A = this chain, B = another copy of it.
């Protein structure tokens, strides 16, 4: 499948995992915590500017990814945000947090130290789970 138009900075920071019903699904390269980024198909910049039907469809993708973080990865806390102060293209953060991560209880932006990268096997395993559970249309993975 072809990749939708995604801001270069997001692609530099993230692995592109594939397509959910209403968003492109990215995973931040910092493997110290599960930090997913969802990119809706719109030229609007702020999430709260989306028309209600589109907003709820994007929300459903975020809810599904949060479920993956909690039910499969075993996290009990998820942070959710649409900021876009640095990269204007609309994108939503869905991030598994725990009291053991290196910037708890602060938000990750500007506070999370560089972490290890993902191994390709790990990415493949998560991607396969997301295909099974969330009906992700997978993209070809690059490390």
Contact = CB atoms under 8 A, between A and B. Distances in A.
Interface in A22-61: 45-49, 52, 55-56, 59-60
A83 interface: yes
B80 A48 contact: yes
Q: Is the interface of A mostly helix, strand, loop or mixed?
A: mixed
A89 interface: no
Interface in A51-104: 52, 55-56, 59-60, 62-63, 66-67, 77-86, 94, 97, 104
Contacts of A106: 85, 109-110
Interface residues of A, number: 33
B55 A63 contact: yes
Contacts of A86: 105
Specify which of A45, A62, A85 lies most central, judged by the most chain B CB atoms within 10 Å of its CB. Answer: A85
Contact of A107 (B47, B78, B94, B110): B110
Given A52-B60, A85-B105, A110-B111, 6 more contacts: A48-B66, A48-B67, A55-B63, A56-B56, A85-B104, A85-B106
Interface of A: 45-49, 52, 55-56, 59-60, 62-63, 66-67, 77-86, 94, 97, 104-107, 109-111
